[in-house]
A and B are shown apart, each in its own frame.
Chain A
Amino acid sequence: MKLIKSAALVAASSLITMTAQAGTLEDVQARGELNCVVTTGLAGFAAPDENGRWEGFDVGFCRAVAAAVLGDGEKVKFIPSTGKTRFTLLNSGDGDILFRNTTETLSRDVDLKLTFLPINYYDGQGFLVRKSLGISSATELDGASVCIQTGTTTELNLADYFRVNGMNYEPVTIETNEEGIGNYSGNRCDAYTTDASGLASTRAALEDPSAHMILPEIISKEPLGGAVRHGDDAWADIGKWVVNAIIIAEELGITQANAGEMAMEAGDNPSVNRLLGTEGNMGEMLGLDNQWALRAIQAGGNYAELFDNNIGPDTPLALERGLNASWRNGGILYAAPIR
């Protein structure tokens, strides 16, 4: 009797430790689907297209991670979130990973218990205004009504900026980007403020984009990156190196089209070989197989392809690479090497 009891106790306690140790990677693989937290809809970054398929720059990173972990970039369940709900969705376990124009800050990292992945978009907060207002600088916005999305770093930057410059404003706080556009296009606000990339997306979605302009002032640093829950380092490593692999692929000239061919056999360039798994065991170190990066690149292409296809100069958003150019081309996009 005693024996059975103690055996049951041991079994129970080992079960507890097992569930405690089972990481996000195992959970995702067992589920066969990656839960990726994205926006409720920001054209170019994450939004469903006319067929209901999620498309965009952030979505591309979700698919890359799914491809690396599950072998298929389609095995993603997208979880739309507002600025307010995103971290709760991640921390409660509803989402495995978050790619949602999220600014890395100390308090989010430490206090909200997140682990940030490498920065995949260097952004800054700007202002969208009507050209008919006849202003050319954010310093002329004294007394303006400014529409702003709640739950973001932008409302803090806005308060600081107007305070430091001794200007007044009326904040019109809204919950989602769609409501923000509604209020701005209805002329409830003189200016709409968010990250410059988001403004480009918002402007492109307006009825007559040419009647609106983005003011030259960038009032904050907004390094945008993915994030995972604090405390699962193995899973954070996977997210981190998938993002790095996408960035490195551009540096090495590996594209969605030529990746498969280049991975057929080891070539002359050891960096390419290590990335594509024809040399070394980088994937195994991560707890994946050695074709992890190959699949991630094939899912949506390298960084340049993700950028150009979703938000680049030829898209409605028409964003320039700017700071987000590779360090070789004068930008600050610089990923740690895979070796």
Chain B
Amino acid sequence: MNEISLPRQNVVSRVWNDKEARSVIVQIVTVVLVFGFFAYLIRNAAINLEAIGKGYSFDFLTQPSNYDISQHFIEYDSRSSHLRAMTVGIINTLLVAVAGLALATVLGFFLGVLRLSRNWLVNKLAYVYIEYTRNVPLLLHILLIHGVIVHTLPVPKQAINLSDAAFLTNRGFFTPKPIFEPLFWIVGGLIVAGLLFSLWFTRYAKKVQDRTGNHYPVFWINLGAIVGIPLIMYFIMGTPITWDTPELKGFNFKGGMVLRPEFIALWLALSLYTAAFIGEIVRAGIIAVSRGQTEASYALGINRGRTLSLVVIPQALRVIVPPLTSQYLNLTKNSSLAIAIGYMDIVATIGGISLNQTGREMECMTIVLLLYLCMSLVISAAMNWYNDRIKLVER
């Protein structure tokens, strides 16, 4: 080592040994590498597409799709555009995701409570259910439920008849479809008014309670406002809903509404599977609230029900909500397994048939990717908002 190179070495080693400088360098290098990697991939794809003479264009979206989709909630036929087919797919995905989230949440909370039950049998049954469900791949649940529906339920001609209004077949569950007459919209208006009233009343009751300590039977009053009054009005106006009942015509039932086996299988499988995970999250959340909290509440003379709703659940939710968010995300993304049984969701429409008939893989996959990303971000944002609302307010 000579005397000239010594200070130079020192500069390098000094910078490297400086914790902050080092972390900046490492971050810069990481960012460059990550961006470089993706730039390389994108460039590669662009060159390869160029080489086989395929451009990157979304023009095909306005062309007629030329295929039919069985479950569509907006006007759609084979002359509609690929864009419309995609919209049908988005609606179908949202439908199964929302229905799945609702059922999974209810079932999950139920399971979580059962797991904490002191009744040995109930506790163990919930335990066995959770362990079985979450240790079998979701795809198998979907295929199993679909197979059971298709192979065990009768064909339309031997449909299980539920009092001539609803029919259970392996082509789906047919129910009467309500047709709303103009007068019904008064009832609808009353329901909305009831909802607004209950929002206001809940706040008002809380204020009164904070001030005076008296509490109103909020639940029953709200129920009366939202359900009771509209129901009375509905009968006064002479039941302004007529029903379009399904009838067996030719091969299938016509009229009414139908839940197809594909939807039912996907919905049940997603809900039952995710509920098992949610059950464990709920159990963990409740256990996390220390026993002392409950005892303190009892000591203050607060009854069991209000202890649960005012002391235990708010604190448990703080533990439950963050992992619950990721379960919600999982459920939504898992709905893409729909393709296995032919439920026409995003992946099956724009990412499946449209992709195939137009040969626009890159474009279609980009769309599918962005759609799932948007849905996940919306769910995350909503859950984060909720989490912020319920978290411990520090004063």
Listed in ascending order, the chain A residues whose CB lies under 8 Å from chain B are 83-84, 87-88, 91, 107-108, 111-113, 133, 141-145, 150-151, 155-156, 158-160, 162-163, 169-175, 179, 182-183, 186-188, 190, 229-231
Interface pairs A-B: 5 shortest CB-CB: A159-B78, A151-B356, A186-B150, A112-B359, A143-B250
Q: Known interface pairs A159-B67, A169-B68, A170-B70. Does A186 touch B151 (Cβ–Cβ under 8 Å)?
A: yes
Is the beta-carbon distance between A88 and B252 smaller than 8 angstroms?
no
A143 engages B251 (CB within 8 Å)? yes
> Contact between A156 and B66 (Cβ–Cβ < 8 Å)?
yes
Q: How far is the CB of B88 from chain A (nearest CB, A)?
A: 12
Across-interface contacts of A143 in B (CB, < 8 A): 249-252, 254
A175 proximity list for chain B (CB < 8 A): 339-340, 342
> Size range of the interface on B?
35 or more
Contact indicator B54/A113 (Cβ below 8 Å): yes
Interface membership of B244, Cβ < 8 A? no
Q: In the complex, how many residue pairs between chain A and chain B have their CB atoms under 8 Å apart?
A: 101
Give min CB distance, A143 to chain B, whole Å. 4
In the docked arrangement, what's the CA distance between A229 and B66, Å? 26
Instruction: Indicate if the CB atoms of A111 and B171 lie closer than 8 Å.
Output: no
Q: How far is the CA of A186 from the CA of B60 in the complex (A)?
A: 37
Interface residue B246 (Cβ < 8 Å from any Cβ of A): no
Taking A111-B358, A173-B344 as contacts, is the C-beta distance between A183 and B150 under 8 angstroms? Answer: yes
Write out the residue numbers on chain A whose beta carbons fall within 8 Å of the beta carbon of B341. Answer: 174, 179
- Neighbouring B residues of A187 by C-beta, 8 Å: 150, 155, 170
**Contact (Cβ within 8 A) A150 B348:** yes
Which B residues, 53 to 79, have Cβ-Cβ distances below 8 Å to chain A? 53-54, 66-70, 77-79
Considering the chains assembled together, what is the distance between the CA atoms of A182 and B69 in angstroms?
20
Are A155 and B171 neighbours in the complex by a CB distance under 8 Å? no
Q: Is B352 an interface residue (CB 8 A)?
A: yes
A88-B361 CB under 8 A given contacts A159-B78, A172-B342: yes
Smallest Cβ-Cβ distance to A163: which chain B residue: B78
Return the contact of B353 from the options A91, A155, A160 (Cβ within 8 A): A155
Q: Does B261 belong to the interface (CB within 8 Å)?
A: yes
Is B52 on the interface with A (CB-CB < 8 A)? yes
Are B344 and A144 interface neighbours, CB within 8 A? no
Closest CB in chain A relative to B267 CB, distance in Å: 17
Residues of A within 8 A of B53 (CB): 113, 230
**Interface contact A230-B342, CB-CB below 8 Å:** no
Cα(A171)–Cα(B79), bound, Å = 15
Tell me the smallest distance from the CB of A161 to a CB of chain B, in Å: 10
Which residue on A lies nearest to B342, using beta carbons? A173
Q: Which of B78, B147, B171, B355 contacts A145 (CB 8 A)?
A: B171
B 103-138 contacts with A by CB, 8 A:
none
- Asked if B357 is at the interface (CB within 8 A of a chain A CB), the reply is yes
CB of A156 within 8 A of CB of B342, answer no
**Residue numbers in B under 8 Å from A162 (CB-CB):** 68
B77 (CB) vs chain A CBs: closest residue: A163
Cβ contact within 8 Å between A190 and B251: yes
- Beyond the given A159-B67, A173-B342, A179-B341, please list 6 additional residue pairs across the A-B interface where CB-CB is below 8 A: A107-B359, A143-B250, A151-B352, A187-B170, A188-B171, A230-B53
CA distance A162 to B67 in the complex (A): 11
Q: Which B168-183 residues have a C-beta within 8 angstroms of A?
A: 170-171
23 CB-based A-B contacts, threshold 8 Å? A83-B356, A88-B361, A107-B357, A107-B359, A111-B358, A141-B251, A144-B250, A145-B252, A150-B353, A150-B356, A151-B357, A155-B68, A155-B353, A156-B67, A156-B357, A170-B70, A171-B68, A171-B69, A172-B70, A172-B262, A173-B70, A173-B348, A230-B53
CB distance from B342 to the nearest CB of A (A): 4
Roughly how many angstroms separate A231 CA and B48 CA in the complex, as a whole number?
13
Nearest-Cβ distance from residue B140 to partner chain A, whole angstroms? 14
Contacts A107-B359, A111-B358, A159-B78 known; A170 to B170 CB distance under 8 Å?
no
Q: Please give me the residue from chain B that is nearest to A84 by CB atom.
A: B356
**Considering the chains assembled together, what is the distance between the CA atoms of A237 and B348 in angstroms?**
36
Separation of A141 and B78 alpha carbons in the complex (Å): 18
A230 touching B67 by the CB < 8 A rule? no
A154–B170 alpha-carbon span in the complex (Å): 24
Give Cα A66 to B371, complex, Å: 44
Chain A residues near B254: list those with CB within 8 A.
Answer: 143
